[in-house]
A and B are shown apart, each in its own frame.
Chain A
């Protein structure tokens, strides 16, 4: 069970859109529609932003969206705002009731 692959960093200007990728295998991301995304500000607890690839919990702005193609899931943040600057982690179900995280992506709002 290897960690999912995320780019270490991503950036965009206010108002722009940014997409963060999360690449796994057919044994995790590609095999199940159970990918979720978490936002973590420095020193804070991670917050669920997207679950089951595309679903948004109540209270999460619709600027955040998720998708998946093959073994790669993606988180898109549209209309970037300063408060979106944070670390983002993907996690996928990996079979046998196990989960695997991505290494995290630091999103910078320029």
Chain B
């Protein structure tokens, strides 16, 4: 059974960069045909797809966030990561990592709340 766990700071200052890591256990991030995604949910609101990374390292992003988002993968640590730059209060959300397929999210992390505030 694949398990995912998000980690990273719960508080980020406005204009700074939000950084989160997702550690995968019970499976390998470098397995062929697997896509690893980040999804967020502002408090009391719906889900938003942020982007995904293929096991090879190629990435795809939500067009509305593309200019501020970077997703990377570290196969040696079986992790993938998210960076969102120039954050504002609108980036306050529960951030989920999910995988391992392109067209569906079968496994989810527990989610981590990131608050943007000075």
Do A and B share a complex? yes
Residues of B within 8 A of A3 (CB): 46
Q: Is the CB of A46 within 8 A of B47?
A: yes
Contact with B along A75-107 (1 / 0, CB 8 A): 000000000000001010100111111111000
B60 touches which of A52, A91, A96 (Cβ 8 Å): A96
Q: Is B35 interfacial (CB 8 A cutoff)?
A: yes
Total residues of chain A contacting the partner, CB 8 A = 26
Residues of A within 8 A of B102 (CB): 93, 97
B: interface residue count bin: 20 to 34
B contact face: mostly helix, strand, loop, or mixed: strand
Contact count A vs B, C-beta below 8 Å: 65
Residues of A within 8 A of B62 (CB): 1, 98
Mark the stretch among B16-24, B73-81, B103-111 that contacts chain A: B103-111
Residues of A within 8 A of B35 (CB): 97
For window 49-63 of chain B, which residues contact chain A by CB distance below 8 Å?
A: 49, 52, 54, 60-63
Q: Is B70 interfacial (CB 8 A cutoff)?
A: no
List 12 A-B pairs, Cβ < 8 Å.
A38-B105, A45-B96, A45-B108, A45-B109, A48-B106, A51-B104, A52-B103, A96-B60, A97-B52, A97-B102, A98-B63, A99-B103
